[in-house]
Chain A
Amino acid sequence: GAVVSQHPSWVICKSGTSVKIECRSLDFQATTMFWYRQFPKQSLMLMATSNEGSKATYEQGVEKDKFLINHASLTLSTLTVTSAHPEDSSFYICSALLSSGDGAFFGQGTRLTVV
């Protein structure tokens, strides 16, 4: 299957700082990427849809000024958690959509811990 690489796999940051997470599609071009947040023992919660060359579409309740998404190329989308607080600690996962429609592939996830 297609490969999606997410970096870093884990990060610890101080409260008030910003953290950037990268999501790359390694062997295909992705015009659409998605960012999810997953709490322990729960399903994935869609945060936003990232479209190459245009502004991201955020789900209801997700602060766009706090979770900045940039999809500058067909193989890279980034999520920046700005002014992070302990309640932002979570598992963040990206996925990229095949243009053929044959499914979405996920990155390895990023465990963010804000102290």
Chain B
Amino acid sequence: QQQVKQSPQSLIVQKGGISIINCAYENTAFDYFPWYQQFPGKGPALLIAIRPDVSEKKEGRFTISFNKSAKQFSLHIMDSQPGDSATYFCAALSGGYQKVTFGTGTKLQVIP
């Protein structure tokens, strides 16, 4: 059972544009939602995370928007750069944080 659905599967954005990746979850017990960035041949790196008590969190060019009632959250990358080209995974953790449930990943390509 896919508990965290992620879309799109792939995304091409021009340099300077906004990249938007969406995720939806089913389990209302999830209470911590991180985004990871993964470059080929490397492990995922924590990018930004949010808890459901806030609707938005911004760190530099990266923003998470969170809609608790819709059980959806999204990553926005402003002023996208070629160096942002990577695979992005949303994830969710529940109380006790015993497991990380990952989305299926989005391969982002930022073209000059």
A residues apposed to B, CB below 8 Å: 1, 4, 6, 32, 34, 41-44, 46, 49, 91, 93, 95, 97, 101-109, 111
Contact = CB atoms under 8 A, between A and B. Distances in A.
B41 A106 contact: no
A103 B46 contact: yes
Given A43-B102, A49-B99, A101-B97, A106 B32 contact: no
A1 B98 contact: no
Interface residues of B, number: 21
A91 B87 CA distance: 15
29 contacts: A4-B43, A6-B43, A41-B105, A42-B104, A42-B105, A43-B89, A43-B102, A43-B105, A44-B44, A44-B89, A46-B99, A91-B41, A93-B43, A95-B43, A97-B97, A101-B32, A102-B49, A103-B32, A103-B46, A103-B49, A103-B93, A104-B34, A104-B46, A104-B100, A106-B36, A106-B44, A106-B46, A108-B42, A111-B41
Instruction: Tell me whether chain A's interface is mostly helix, strand or loop, or mixed.
Output: strand
A28 B68 CA distance: 31
Query: Interface centre among B89, B97, B105, by most A CB within 10 Å?
Result: B97
Contacts of A104: 34, 46, 93, 97, 100
A104 B101 CA distance: 11
Contacts of A97: 97
A34 B104 contact: no
B54 interface: no
B45 interface: yes
Contacts of B49: 102-103
